[in-house]
Amino acid sequence: MGVVNAAEPPAPTAESQLRAVPPHALVATTGRLLAELVGAKDVTLLLADYGLSVLQPVTHLPHTGHPLPAHDGPAGRAFITQTPVIEVTSPAAATDRLHLPITVRGDRLGILSLRLPRSATDPATVLRLAEFATALGHEVTTAGRDTDLYQRARRTRRLTLAAEMQWQLLPGRGCARHEYVIGAHLEPAYAVSGDNFDWSTSADHLTLTITDGMGQGINDALLSSLTVGALRNARRAGISLADQARLADQAVWAQYGGTAYASTLLLHFALDTGTVHAVDAGSPQLYRQRGDTLERIELEAQLPLGMLEETLYEEQTFHVEPGDRLIAVSTGVHEARSADGGRFGERALRQILSAAASMPPHETARAVVSGLSEHFGSKDLTADATVVCLDWNGRDNAPAPSSAHNR
């Protein structure tokens, strides 16, 4: 009987090799793989810090390398524009530095920076490396379940316990698919206690919530954790938006008996029609930017979650069209006051949103918080401030909106 020679297995891809290494070894493995593939040197993984102010190199802890600005310079430009940037360090040099955005499903994590032979900066190679950077981002996200390395590298200083709890609750700082792009910003990043945003998407729907718990510090964080957990539990049961609010309301009331409550805005988008079901249970405000017009969407104000026992909530509807932008802000934004008592207010918010109309959602959310800090007179805000910005693209086959749904 003849011997059958089995075909040799295909060589492992770079992505599969990333998946095979221990979580803490991703950076070293990335450097080795890129050296083999394209002759890369000086490979550095830079992660955006919690305040989105700097890009922190992931190096040996407890210290990281020298940070780079997240909004200036070649690396910052790649982070903001979400496109590869080639930095020509010297016309006479044989190598250039390439900065590649690392983004996972719309959530901006940071930059992969490497030095390449000038001959390897052609468009095809840069595109291939950009795909590698995306694969690395997925692995960094997954590795965060098993190691503190990447979480620790993101911080320029210690987080408060309440802030640690809040960041663990968040789904990310952005989400993107064909129908929409979400960008969110939260301050004070290292001392936030009660503000929270959450989202979940399915084949045909998007649910988005913005929560503003009352109180300060750890008590506020515990209240928000209970509220978000109750909302997720109700949402995953597949019930209506109004019933999600009702069950979360009962959970907060059962724990606090009305002594603490959480203001929450709940939104449920139909991806095929642009119809939005909403429950306004408290103080977060919602604006819609359509063309040159910015309007506040006036929803019926209902009781915050947990204020009274067995509150019944009602849904309202409005409609979004392709090209619309929605901006939700927490109380810490629209009720903020400066040192002299001046309120930030709707006028200042409108000015910032108009100036940021051409910016992507992530940068728009950050611009609002930056304007708030300028008004307050310090980056160290005394109250949580949350901004969530959503750009609506819709589906190509979406039906024309009914006037009954427009507000």
Each residue's pLDDT tens digit, 297-314: 999 999 999 999 989 999
Instruction: Sort residue 377 into left (φ over 0), alpha (ψ -120 to 50) or beta.
Output: left
- pLDDT number for residue 404: 37
Tell me the mean pLDDT in the region 233-237.
Answer: 97
- pLDDT number for residue 9: 63
Cβ atoms < 10 Å from Cβ of 108: 23
- pLDDT number for residue 348: 82
Q: What DSSP line would sit under 271-307, residue for residue?
A: TTT-EEEEEEESS-EEEEEETTEEEE--PPP-PPBTS
CA distances from 311 to 26, 151, 281, 307 (A): 50, 39, 10, 8
216-220, 294-298, 312-316, 345-349, range with the lowest pLDDT: 345-349
Q: What confidence tier does 6 reach under pLDDT thresholds 50, 70, 90?
A: low
Is residue 71 within 8 Å of 46, Cβ to Cβ?
no
Judged against a pLDDT cut of 80, whether residue 154 lies above it is answered with yes
For β-strands 293-296 and 262-270, DSSP reports them as unpaired
Partners of 56 in the beta sheet? 47
pTM of the model: 0.90
Contacts of 340 (CB under 8 A, 6+ apart): none
- pLDDT number for residue 214: 82
Cα 40 from Cα 152, distance rounded (Å): 26
For 301, what's the count of Cα atoms within 13 Å in the CB-facing half-sphere? 5
Cα 137 from Cα 126, distance rounded (Å): 16
Cα 315 from Cα 313, distance rounded (Å): 7
Q: Which residue has the higher pLDDT, 5 or 362?
A: 362
Cα 59 from Cα 149, distance rounded (Å): 9
b/e burial code for range 241-267 (CB count within 10 A of at least 16 → b): bbbbbbbbbbbbbeebeeebbbbbbbb
- pLDDT number for residue 407: 38
Residue in this structure with the two tokens 């649910």, named with its chain if needed: 207
Dump pLDDT digits (tens) for 125-147: 999 999 999 999 999 999 999 99
Q: What confidence tier does 349 reach under pLDDT thresholds 50, 70, 90?
A: confident
Angle (nearest 5°) at CA 48 between 44 and 53 = 120
